[in-house]
Amino acid sequence: MRISRRVRFESTQLVAPHQLSVMARLEDRALTPRELAGIECVSPPSMTRTVSGLVERGLVARQDDPLDGRQVFLSLTAFGLLTLKETRRKRDAWMASRLRGISAEEREVLVRATEILTRLASE
């Protein structure tokens, strides 16, 4: 937890973590607010609020669904995509500077640990 907190605070200053997570979901394809709320395990009103913040900042765009007037599609703007990539670049640069001081053998241990934990988390 301490390590996770450190990574969050030192590497994701451009956009808040929960906002960045939503942006990453929209990278591949447009989603509705309801879909995003489900994916992020958050209530629909909460997602409305998160999305509104992103729309105000020009990172995400709303588009009405022509087939179903109740629905809205959300997608990344060009600026949003750029911001997402820049944030990742900064995070990776921070992490790379940390990893520079360790041996190849230690890096291999971290890679293997990541695989194991990812498997455990998905069970």
Distance CA 80, CA 62 (A): 13
Residues 25 and 41: beta-carbon distance below 8 Å: no
CB of 10 to DNA, least distance (A): 15
Q: Is 117 in the site for a second copy (CB under 8 A)?
A: yes
Helix then strand then coil, % of the chain, to nearest 5: 65, 10, 25
Q: Please give the span between the terminal C-alpha atoms of the chain, in angstroms, as a whole number.
A: 20
Binding partner selected for residue 69 from a second copy, DNA, none, CB under the kind-specific 5 to 8 Å limit? DNA
Which is nearer to a second copy, 82 or 99 (by Cβ)? 99
Extract the tokens encoding 86. Answer: 């820049």
Binding partner selected for residue 106 from DNA, a second copy, none, CB under the kind-specific 5 to 8 Å limit? a second copy
Which is nearer to a second copy, 5 or 70 (by Cβ)? 5
Give the footprint of DNA on this chain (CB under 7 A). 16, 18-19, 32-35, 41-46, 48-53, 62, 67-72
Residues 25 and 36: beta-carbon distance below 8 Å: yes
Residues 76 and 68: beta-carbon distance below 8 Å: no
Which is nearer to a second copy, 78 or 104 (by Cβ)? 104
Q: Is 113 in the site for a second copy (CB under 8 A)?
A: yes
